């Protein structure tokens, strides 16, 4: 049975809740969507956005201080670099402003006012 046939069979006379669950099961089985689990990179970006909002406006910080050591440790080197470049290119999207680079070449930010 192909994907279209499976989806059509799932649609017939099903309550919306069950229909949604069955369609998700089929799509996951066909590898067309990922399961609901978020990648460490996605978790880190969400944590960054939420964490910055709790920082005092004048407090200076680096990204790992905001997302926490546990999530930071889950990221590989490439993900850490990609995250840093992405945030530095558009800090306002995360409610931050870039201040300077530290002596260890890490970006220093503060919450945008």
What pLDDT, on a 0 to 100 scale, did the predictor assign at position 103?
93
* Average pLDDT value over all residues in the chain: 85
> Percent of the chain scored above 90 by pLDDT?
57
Provide the pLDDT confidence category of residue 15 given band limits of 50, 70 and 90.
confident
Long-range pairs, 87-94, Cβ under 8 A, ≥24? 87/48, 87/63, 94/48, 94/49, 94/52
Q: What is the pTM of this model?
A: 0.63
Considering only residues 104 and 35, tell me which one the structure prediction assigns the higher pLDDT.
Answer: 104
Domains and CATH numbers, the chain: 1-37 (no CATH), 40-111 (1.10.10)
Averaged pLDDT for residues 79-98: 93
Question: CA-to-CA distance for 61 and 33, rounded, in angstroms?
Answer: 36
> Among 30, 28, 29, 71, which Cα is nearest to 48's?
71
Residues 34-83 pLDDT 10s: 655 678 888 899 999 999 999 998 899 999 999 999 999 999 999 999 99
Provide the pLDDT confidence category of residue 6 given band limits of 50, 70 and 90.
confident
């Amino acid at each position: 049975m192909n994907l279209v046939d499976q989806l059509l069979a799932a649609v017939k006379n099903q309550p919306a809740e069950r229909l949604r669950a069955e369609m998700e099961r089929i799509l996951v089985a066909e590898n067309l969507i990922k399961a609901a689990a978020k990648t460490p990179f996605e978790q880190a970006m969400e944590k960054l956005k939420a964490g910055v909002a709790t920082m005092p406006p004048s407090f200076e910080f680096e990204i790992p201080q905001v997302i926490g050591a546990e999530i930071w440790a889950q990221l590989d080197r490439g993900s850490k670099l990609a995250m840093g470049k992405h945030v530095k290119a558009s800090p306002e999207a995360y409610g931050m402003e870039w201040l300077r680079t530290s002596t260890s070449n890490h970006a220093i930010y503060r919450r945008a006012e």
